[in-house]
């Protein structure tokens, strides 16, 4: 019998996740929570541009908590820990890109109690933070000895991210440098990146200093920049760079960086993606060192990205691929280190028995 899955929220990640669940041979989509009145009452097939499948989107969280299901793929903009606990206590496993990558020294007793009550498992996935910041660095690290530094870095044109309210009101693009200096992204992303870096440090054996270092740099437009959130006028923020680091006796040993630009020109400082373009990088400095560059997770154009952004799809697939493994795991918070190798599945036309 396939594992029964509820999709919680249908933004970019949620829509891609529903498509991935519907294509996965071991999964069945049985429920869907939506935040908007416009989506409520619609068949989820319509929400993803496919034929109706008989599953109706709802805003009734209580009904979904009470539903018979094996797993919830939980992907709203912001996590509600109380709701996650309710889902876990109801006996549903939860996979989410919104954190819980690595508990470390955090107080997770409430979450653990909910897992024990429901006999359920919680697993945090994601891409950045997530896979690029711990799964892949740790995998690559096995090829090195004497490791002294690990780096994970994103280079993205943020114009292709189809969430204008988030870009303007949370990321604070198009604001003054003074307004952007108060960006919640330092804390919002810092918690997820912090968990990833702690996982890497613990597994590699780095004796990291207690404090995580974070820096936030901005570049301002030098000419009008046309973007999906409107024209960014000269003097307003058109590019941002966030860096988080963990150190050993003051020496950086783990670096995570985000480079978000509105295009590649027309701002000061004149940052650039360089010859390799948009990408994700993982680099391990050791004997020998390794550098892995991930292409394919960025769209060919701004228009294509607003229609379907491959990075968003990869984030969704990372979670969906984990669901069967999480459903088979013992109760509790399970990290990448606790689960077996997670793999995707063949396209439907290439699967056995088709």
- Summarised one tens digit per residue, pLDDT across range 116-128 is 999 999 999 999 9
- DSSP assignment of 116-149, as one string? HHHT-EEEE--BTTBGGGTHHHHHHHTT-EEEEE
Mean pLDDT of 180-207: 91
How far apart (Å, rounded) are the C-alpha atoms in residues 76 and 193?
18
pLDDT the model gives residue 151: 98
Asked if pLDDT for residue 182 goes beyond 90, the answer is no
How much of the chain is helix, strand and coil, in % rounded to 5? 30, 30, 40
pLDDT the model gives residue 164: 86
Mean pLDDT of 48-66: 95
How far apart (Å, rounded) are the C-alpha atoms in residues 47 and 104?
38
| CATH code reported for the domain at 3-126+314-350 | 3.40.50.720
pTM of the model: 0.93
* 240-267 pLDDT per residue, tens: 999 999 999 999 999 999 999 999 888 9
Nearest to 88 by CA among 341, 336, 334: 334
Nearest to 101 by CA among 123, 119, 73: 123
How far apart (Å, rounded) are the C-alpha atoms in residues 96 and 323?
10
pLDDT range class, residue 163, cuts 50, 70, 90: confident
pLDDT range class, residue 44, cuts 50, 70, 90: very high
Domain locations in the chain?
3-126+314-350, 131-296
How far apart (Å, rounded) are the C-alpha atoms in residues 183 and 185?
5
Asked if pLDDT for residue 149 goes beyond 80, the answer is yes
* 296-332 pLDDT per residue, tens: 999 999 989 988 999 999 999 999 999 999 999 999 9
pLDDT range class, residue 348, cuts 50, 70, 90: confident
pLDDT the model gives residue 77: 86
Asked if pLDDT for residue 214 goes beyond 80, the answer is yes
Pick the CATH number of 131-296 from 3.30.360, 1.10.10, 3.40.1130, 3.30.70: 3.30.360
Which positions ≥6 away from 327 have C-beta within 8 Å? 3, 70, 71, 93, 121
Work out whether strand 225-227 and strand 213-221 pair parallel, antiparallel, or are unpaired. unpaired
How far apart (Å, rounded) are the C-alpha atoms in residues 82 and 312?
26
pLDDT the model gives residue 234: 96
Asked if pLDDT for residue 227 goes beyond 80, the answer is yes
How many CB atoms are closer than 10 A to CB 264?
A: 16
Q: What are phi and psi of 149, to 5 degrees?
A: -160, 145
Q: What is the mean pLDDT of the chain?
A: 94
pLDDT the model gives residue 228: 85
- Residues of the chain above pLDDT 70, percent: 100
Q: Which helix (H) or strand (E) holds 259?
A: strand 251-261
SS3 call for 266: coil
| 131-296 matches 3-126+314-350 in CATH topology | no
pLDDT range class, residue 354, cuts 50, 70, 90: low
Which positions ≥6 away from 49 have C-beta within 8 Å? none
């Amino acid at each position: 019998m396939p594992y029964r899955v509820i999709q919680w929220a249908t933004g970019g990640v949620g829509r891609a996740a529903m498509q991935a669940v519907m294509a996965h041979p071991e999964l069945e989509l049985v429920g869907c929570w939506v935040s908007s009145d416009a989506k409520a009452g619609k068949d989820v097939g319509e929400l993803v541009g496919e034929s109706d499948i008989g599953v109706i989107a709802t805003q009734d969280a209580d009904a979904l908590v009470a539903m018979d299901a094996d797993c919830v793929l939980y992907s709203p903009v912001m996590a509600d820990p109380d709701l996650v606990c309710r889902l876990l206590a109801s006996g549903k496993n939860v996979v989410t890109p919104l954190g819980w990558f690595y508990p470390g020294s955090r107080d997770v007793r409430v979450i653990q109690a909910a897992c024990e009550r429901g006999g359920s498992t919680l697993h945090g996935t994601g891409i950045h933070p997530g896979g690029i910041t711990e799964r892949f660095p740790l995998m690559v690290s096995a090829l090195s000895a004497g490791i002294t530094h690990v780096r994970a870095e994103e280079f993205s044109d943020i114009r292709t991210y189809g969430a204008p309210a988030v870009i303007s009101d949370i990321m604070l693009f198009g604001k003054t440098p003074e307004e952007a200096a108060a960006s919640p992204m330092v804390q919002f992303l810092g918690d997820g990146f912090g968990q990833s870096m702690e996982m890497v440090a613990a597994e590699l054996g780095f004796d990291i200093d207690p404090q995580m270092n974070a820096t936030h740099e901005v570049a301002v437009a030098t000419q009008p920049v046309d973007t999906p959130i409107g024209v960014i006028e000269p003097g307003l923020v058109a590019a941002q760079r966030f860096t988080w680091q963990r150190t050993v006796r003051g020496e950086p040993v783990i670096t995570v960086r985000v480079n978000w630009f509105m295009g590649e020109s027309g701002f000061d400082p004149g940052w650039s993606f360089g010859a390799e373009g948009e990408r994700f990088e993982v680099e391990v400095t050791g004997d020998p060192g390794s550098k892995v560059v991930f292409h394919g997770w960025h769209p060919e154009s701004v228009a294509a990205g607003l229609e379907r952004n491959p990075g968003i799809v990869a984030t969704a697939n990372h979670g969906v691929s984990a669901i069967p493994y999480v459903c088979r795991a013992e109760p509790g918070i399970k990290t990448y280190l606790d689960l077996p190798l997670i793999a995707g599945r063949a396209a439907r036309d290439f699967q056995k028995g088709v």
